[in-house]
Amino acid sequence: MDINDVIGLSLRIGVIVSVILIATGSLLTFVEHGSNGYSVSELLSRTSVVNSSTASFNFIVNSVSQFTGLGLIYLGLVVLIATPVIRVMLSVLYFALDKNLLYTIVTAIVLFNLLIAIFVIPIFVVHN
Amino acid sequence: MLTGLALFLSVLFSSILAGYLGSLTGLGGGTILVPILTLYDGIPIIYATGASLISTISTSSGAASAYIKDRITNVKLGMSLEIATTAGSIVGSLTVAYIYEHHLAYIIYIIFGIVLIGSIYPTITKGKRELPEPKPQDWTTRFFQLYGDYYDSALGKQVNYWGIRWWLGEIIMFFAGFISGLLGIGSGALKVLGMDYAMNLPMKVTTTTSNFMIGVTAATGSSIYWALGYIQPLIAAPTAIGVLLGALIGTKTLVKLKNRRIRTIFTILLGFLGIQMILRGLGIV
């Protein structure tokens, strides 16, 4: 099994896990007539105030540990975003093992851009 | 006004349709998903673009896992161009944050309309020629190791190819990433255009490599969208599942359907939605 197979497999697992989490979370939200203290109509209306700006790391961890519908959906979406990040990490490893200096640097720059977008920019865009 | 389960199912159905048509035409789901969600499901454009962008990760990753196996995707090419698409996506996402903060959403509708109408051209011309005329290698071909080969089952032969004008490809990819972050779409059409025309690569390589790049580009934009609060979980949920489901159905039926008829219908749809988005932006409808 070479690294391309590992990358392909990790992409597939990421998508499958994320879809299962999102589907389970959605189902749970409807079965329990809401989630995290919100009713279904509060969660699902065009003017809903529930969105990712309130989904902090702590909020997601707490919701998932209480097995709420909203928590599972958020976790599924996080897994979805993390899937390409893992792919890029594996690619850095692949080129490093291949002793291809240029492409180790190239993939490291891509990873750097991704990590800036995930961890640094959010600090500046959220003012309140 | 639909709420609750009815709204969930309405978004799910729209997403399946968008994923299906996007997969049949190779344009991806997002381009027609956002207009359908905003114009017909009444979803605010912020939540529509947020759901669309995150859903492109699932289709891109799902398809990429299959393509990597075929060894047609050029990983080096994709990686080297992702420097520009991720940077472009960061700039695009921050630009759209500025636009919404200053209540200038009409600009997004108009740009979206222009992109929809602009997508008609690659949709019509796509598939006309499989392999480009070989052009002489330049210094970027050698420096960035832009060589590759694959077995083309339709042509029944091994294809050797190389990419040229890496720098021009990089400029177009920055723009593609910018549009992706701005409009919440994969902008696969622009990526294909960049690799096809600027870098002189075979069609199969450009489409699979473009698809490979969309996931990383969209993950960059989605992270910034997340912090900005553009992702509404119960709208993103049916979208992510629906688009993936639609794309899977699309891949299964790809061989059975008459391609030209689908392409014609899709072209008309692109023009129709494009005009509607522009009119909405101008405040006419």
Could you report the per-residue pLDDT of B131-161, keeping only the tens digit for each? 788 888 899 998 999 998 888 777 788 888 9
Q: Strands B157-162 and A38-39: what pairing?
A: unpaired
Count the domains in chain B.
Answer: 1
Query: At what angle are helices B203-228 and B75-101 packed, to 10 degrees?
Result: 40
Among B239, B232, B184, CA closest to B11: B239
What burial letters (b/e) apply to B128-162, b meaning 16+ CB within 10 Å?
A: eeeebeeeeeeebbeebbbebebebeeeeeebebb
Residue A53 distance to chain B (closest CA, Å): 4
CA distances to A123, B89, B147, B211 from B217, in Å: 20, 6, 23, 10
pLDDT at A128 over 50: no
Neighbours of B268 (CB within 10 A): 11
Cα–chain-centroid distance for residue B165? Answer: 23
Count how many pairs of residues, chain A against chain B, have C-beta atoms within 8 Å.
204
Among B9, B15, B46, CA closest to B31: B15
Mean pLDDT score of chain A, rounded to an integer? Answer: 90
Q: How far apart are CA B240 and CA A19, in angstroms?
A: 8
Residue B210 distance to chain A (closest CA, Å): 14
Higher-pLDDT residue of A46, B130: A46
Domain boundaries, position B230: 4-281
Instruction: Give the helix/strand (H/E) hosting B56.
Output: helix B45-70
Q: What is the pLDDT of residues A108-125, one digit of tens each?
A: 999 999 999 999 998 887
Q: What is the pLDDT of residues B176-206, one digit of tens each?
A: 999 999 999 988 888 888 888 889 988 888 8
SS (H, E, C) A42-69: HHCCCCCCCCHHHCCHHHHHHHHHCCCH
Mean pLDDT score of chain B, rounded to an integer? Answer: 87
Closest CB from A43, A52, A106 relative to B83: A106
pLDDT at B225 over 50: yes
Based on C-alpha coordinates, what's the Rg of chain A?
18
Q: Do B3 and A44 touch (CB under 8 A)?
A: yes
Based on C-alpha coordinates, what's the Rg of chain B?
18
Q: How far apart are CA B176 and CA B189, in angstroms?
A: 9
Question: Phi and psi for B28 in degrees, rounded to 5?
Answer: 85, 160
Amino acid identity of residue B125, one-letter, is T
Q: Which of B57, B76, B170, B245 to mutate to test the interface with A (most CBs of A within 10 A)?
A: B57
What pLDDT score was predicted for residue A17? 96
Listed by start position, the domains of chain A span: 3-125
Among B26, B45, B50, CA closest to B211: B26
Q: Which of B65, B174, B178 to mutate to test the interface with A (most CBs of A within 10 A)?
A: B65
Closest CB from A7, A46, A84 relative to B42: A46
Q: What is the pLDDT of residues B29-88, one digit of tens each?
A: 788 899 999 999 889 999 999 999 999 998 888 777 766 667 788 889 999 999 999 999
pLDDT at B2 over 80: no
Q: How far apart are the first and last CA of chain A?
A: 48
- Flag the least confident range among A37-41, B106-110, B251-255: B251-255
Rounded mean pLDDT, A85-89: 94
pLDDT at B127 over 70: no
What pLDDT score was predicted for residue A7? 83
Q: Do B236 and A87 touch (CB under 8 A)?
A: no
Question: Within an 8 Å CB–CB cutoff, is residue B99 touching chain A?
Answer: no
Q: How far apart are CA A15 and CA B116, in angstroms?
A: 28
Closest CB from B61, B225, B237 relative to A11: B61
What pLDDT score was predicted for residue B61? 82
Cα–chain-centroid distance for residue B151? Answer: 25
Q: What is the pLDDT of residues B200-221, one digit of tens each?
A: 988 888 888 888 899 999 999 9
ipTM above 0.90, yes or no: yes
- Flag the least confident range among A37-46, A77-86, B245-254, B272-281: B245-254
Instruction: Give the helix/strand (H/E) hosting B157.
Output: strand B157-162
CA distances to A96, A98, A107, B1, B151 from A6, in Å: 15, 15, 17, 46, 22
Residue B32, helix vs strand vs coil = helix
